[in-house]
Amino acid sequence: MRVPHIALEAGDLVRVVTGGGGGYGNPFEREPERILADVLDGYVSREQALADYRVVIGADLLVDVEATRLERSRR
Which amino acid is residue 50, in one-letter code?
Answer: L
Structural domain including 43 reads 1-75
Length of the chain: 75
The overall average pLDDT reported for the chain is 90
Per DSSP, 11 falls in state: T
Q: Which residue numbers in the chain have pLDDT < 70?
A: 1-3, 19-22
- Tell me, yes or no, if the pTM score tops 0.85: no
Number of domains forming the structure of the chain = 1
With a pLDDT cut of 70, the percent of the chain lying above it is 89
The answer to whether 23 and 35 have CB atoms below 8 angstroms apart is no
